[in-house]
């Protein structure tokens, strides 16, 4: 069964064709990074307009690259939320138009469910239940996944998402957008360098037993240190390293605690920040020390793409979770409140 996936939740226009939820025949992503770089972050209006320009060429390219026609599709899966409402509207509107005109079933997919699909593309043999860490520019959550549409939220950020904190800290130091990959690269260059005056930044663990996250204090600590300071290349490098160490340490320790609380054997890490080299390395070390299986998609599947949406859409369709043509996007769509039948 072939699924056409569509993803437009933020600043990537993406379409993909996936067979049986496992074989990626095409996966086309049109990035908007260059459009938003001069603003230092995503501008929703610009994102929406770019999606409108890109959606049809991306869809045509995905179908052409797959060697399949629209009429070959068993269903169309589209991200319905959470995300930027204007961006989501473009993808959902295109999916509904295609589904109506070609008489193809439609499946609305939660964006975080999509990231779960990326893990299933990488490791189709993994069994549920498992703990999932979703860490990106817009999300930092821990879930206990019993099955599709059976999710328990264990923790979430109370302020900035981890990826958002990376971008803001990068901007404080005059580093280019997006800040996450830049900080990761620079921090790696100073991983063994002696600390020369840069303080150990705070780790926010919150109240005892909490699996929630908070990165605003860490961001403020960086701001207070760099404000008015002459930032040499070495100082920037050490700040990047210390900031990343603090963020990664909390993400890993909270994930391990969630695994213990649920006596789980599998941890799935997903989302754009899951492509961060320091986080991947620390999670791998934690999995060995605590004897659990770690599943992290390859970096290209961590960032937003439509293959992950198609992979989850396939499994949801098999469970009967079809959507009607009255499907509407929702900017704030909790994964744990997704209905089993739709």
Pair (65, 6) in one structural domain: yes
pLDDT digits (tens, 9 = 90+) for 57-89: 999 999 999 999 999 999 999 999 999 999 999
pLDDT digits (tens, 9 = 90+) for 12-28: 999 999 999 999 999 99
In a domain, 342, yes or no: no
Pair (228, 316) in one structural domain: no
In a domain, 325, yes or no: yes
Pair (136, 154) in one structural domain: yes
Q: Cα 193 to chain center, whole Å?
A: 31
Model pLDDT, residue 41: 84
Pair (191, 270) in one structural domain: yes
Tell which wins on pLDDT, 322 or 18: 18
**Mean pLDDT of all residues in 250-257:** 98
Cα–Cα distance for residue pair 258/264, rounded to 1 Å: 8
Model pLDDT, residue 341: 61
What percentage of residues in the chain have a pLDDT greater than 90?
87
Pair (17, 161) in one structural domain: no
**Tokens 């009429």 found at:** 71
Cα–Cα distance for residue pair 256/288, rounded to 1 Å: 11
Pair (290, 214) in one structural domain: yes
Pair (135, 274) in one structural domain: yes
pLDDT beyond 70 at 342: no
In a domain, 141, yes or no: yes
Q: Using CB atoms within 10 A of its CB, is residue 145 exposed (0-12), middle (13-18) or buried (19+)?
A: buried
Pair (183, 309) in one structural domain: no
Pair (283, 316) in one structural domain: no
Contact yes or no for 13/29 (Cβ under 8 A): yes
Which alpha helices (H) appear in the chain, and where do they start and end?
Answer: 33-37, 44-66, 85-102, 111-122, 162-172, 179-189, 216-226, 233-262, 277-290, 299-302, 307-318
**Mean pLDDT of all residues in 305-320:** 96
Cα–Cα distance for residue pair 12/87, rounded to 1 Å: 9
What is the pLDDT of the chain when averaged over all its residues? Answer: 94
Pair (72, 88) in one structural domain: yes
pTM of the predicted structure, to 2 decimals = 0.93
**Mean pLDDT of all residues in 285-295:** 97
Pair (89, 228) in one structural domain: no
Contact yes or no for 306/54 (Cβ under 8 A): no
Q: What is the CATH number of the domain that holds 101?
A: 3.30.420.40
**Mean pLDDT of all residues in 151-172:** 95
Tokens of 16: 């993909």
Residues spanned by the domain of 36: 2-118+301-337
Task: Please tell me the total count of domains within the chain.
Answer: 2
**Mean pLDDT of all residues in 46-57:** 96
């Amino acid at each position: 069964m072939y699924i056409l996936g569509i993803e437009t939740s933020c600043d990537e226009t993406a379409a993909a064709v996936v067979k049986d939820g496992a074989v990626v025949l095409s996966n086309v992503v049109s990035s908007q990074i260059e459009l938003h770089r001069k603003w230092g972050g995503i501008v929703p209006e610009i994102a929406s307009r770019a999606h409108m320009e890109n959606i049809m060429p991306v869809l045509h390219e995905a179908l052409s690259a797959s060697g399949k026609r629209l009429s070959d599709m068993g269903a169309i899966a589209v991200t319905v939320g959470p995300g930027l409402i204007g961006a989501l509207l473009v993808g959902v509107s295109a999916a509904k138009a295609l589904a109506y005109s070609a008489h193809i079933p439609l499946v609305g997919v939660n964006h975080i469910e999509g990231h779960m699909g990326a893990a299933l593309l990488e490791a189709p043999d993994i069994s549920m239940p498992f703990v999932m860490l979703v860490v990106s520019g817009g999300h930092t959550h821990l879930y206990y996944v019993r099955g599709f549409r059976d999710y328990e939220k264990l923790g979430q950020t109370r302020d900035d998402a981890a990826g958002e904190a990376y971008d803001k800290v990068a901007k404080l130091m005059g580093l280019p957008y997006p800040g996450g990959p830049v900080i990761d690269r620079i921090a790696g260059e100073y991983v063994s360098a002696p600390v020369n005056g840069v303080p150990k930044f705070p780790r926010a663990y919150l109240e005892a037993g909490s699996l929630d996250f908070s990165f605003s204090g860490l961001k403020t600590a960086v701001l207070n240190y760099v404000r008015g300071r002459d930032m040499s290349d070495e100082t920037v490098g050490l700040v990047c390293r210390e900031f990343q160490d603090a963020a990664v340490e909390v993400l890993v320790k909270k994930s391990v605690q969630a695994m213990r609380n649920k006596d789980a054997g599998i941890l799935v890490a997903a989302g754009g920040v899951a492509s961060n080299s320091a986080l991947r390395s620390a999670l791998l070390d934690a999995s060995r020390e605590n004897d659990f299986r770690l599943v992290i998609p390859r970096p290209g599947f961590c960032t937003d793409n439509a293959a992950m949406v198609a992979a989850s859409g396939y499994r949801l369709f098999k469970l009967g979770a079809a959507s009607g043509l009255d499907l509407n996007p929702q900017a704030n769509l909790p994964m744990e409140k997704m209905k089993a039948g739709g």
